[in-house]
Amino acid sequence: MKTKITEMFGIQHPIIQGGMHFVGFAELAAAVSNAGGLGIITGLTQRTPADLANEIARCRAMTDKPFGVNLTFLPVVTAPDYPGYVKAIIDGGVKAVETAGNNPQKWLPALKEAGIKVIHKCTSVRHALKAEAIGCDAVSVDGFECGGHPGEDDVPNMILLPRAADELKIPFVASGGMADARSLVAALAMGADGMNMGTRFIATKEAPVHENVKQAIVAASELDTRLVMRPLRNTERVLTNEAVERLLDKERALGAAIKFEDIIEEVAGVYPRIMLKGEMQAGAWSCGMVAGLINDIPTCKELIDRIMAEAEQLIRARLEGMLAA
Ligand SMILES: Cc1cc2nc3c(=O)[nH]c(=O)nc-3n(C[C@H](O)[C@H](O)[C@H](O)COP(=O)(O)O)c2cc1C
């Protein structure tokens, strides 16, 4: 399949693996890229720019295909060493960057100068248009279904994607709720040039996370995610567990007076405990509603090959077959 996204990133299939904290290590990024998609290392999971440089080198040793790095611009007072991370990406010869969070404008000149394609992930048409205006090459449009931070507008992809298609000139991929060939074909029908998956890629053989995390996703239904931190305007879609229900009790009890410090136990520092140690009640971790569509733990290649084969079937047999001769 050839789309503006496969052409832009030099990949075989229009499938991207979104950056994921404590999931997007070199092993997963390389597996996705080797399977013909675009694998992405999560920049901020690496504690220092030197660590990121090392992770990029590790990934390059595992694949000769293009891969990218996610840079999430957090709304925090003491920012991580972003200049250092950007330098590690450029020096590492990476040619694709997924930005997310705050506006990436400040970093675009350096990235562009190095010939890097920038795909900005955002959850609204207005932010997508802003990304286009400041010179991003593509956007990843993340609907309300998505695991992680869906923003505060709550527009699901059935509306958000055609809205994006109506407004944008640059290509975009559909993100949030994407799991299989049906997701891909629907996304293409709504104007996207590919899809980005997060949660689906966690439940793969190569995802370097604890087996408990993969089993939790397989066991979960579409009813098992919750939105936390809404009162702090930092909404995150997570899989429910004891810590998440405790956090929601606090939100109900404290109302508008709630502060980050009140929920620190449920959200701070929980990713390594969940992802690496498999302590499934340790705190709130991002997971999409798409968990309801995930029933197995294939390799990345099995997953991507299956999606592409079934997508071809859907287009050639089901859709074309519906047209009158
Ligand atoms: C465990 C997890 C961690 C994530 N961490 C990040 C992150 O650090 N930066 C980011 O831009 N997106 C992050 N995301 C969002 C994903 O890149 C992607 O946009 C999202 O998962 C898409 O929705 P889906 O899970 O329904 O496929 C995370 C998602 C998950 C599930």
Q: What is the DSSP letter of 37?
A: S
143 CB-near residues (< 8 Å, 6+ apart): 123, 150, 155, 156, 157, 158, 160, 161, 174, 175, 176, 177
User: What DSSP string runs through 159-197?
Assistant: HHHHHHHHH-SS-EEEESS--SHHHHHHHHHTT-S-EEE
This prediction has a pTM of 0.98
The residues pairing with 39 across neighbouring beta strands, listed in sequence order, are 67
pLDDT tens digits along 33-73: 999 999 999 999 999 999 999 999 999 999 999 999 999 99
Q: How many CB atoms lie within 10 A of CB 220?
A: 21
The average confidence (pLDDT) of the chain is 97
Q: pLDDT tens for residues 121-134?
A: 999 999 999 999 99
The residue nearest atom 3 of ligand 1, judged by CA position, is 20
**pLDDT tens for residues 170-202?**
999 999 999 999 999 999 999 999 999 999 999
Ligand 1 within 6 A of CB of 204: no
Q: Is the CB of 70 under 6 A from ligand 1?
A: yes
Q: Which domains does the chain have, with CATH numbers?
A: 4-204 (3.20.20.70)
In the three-class reduction of DSSP (H, G, I as helix; E, B as strand; rest coil), residue 118 is classed as: strand
Q: Would the CB of 236 count as within 6 Å of ligand 1? A: no
Q: Is the CB of 100 under 6 A from ligand 1?
A: yes
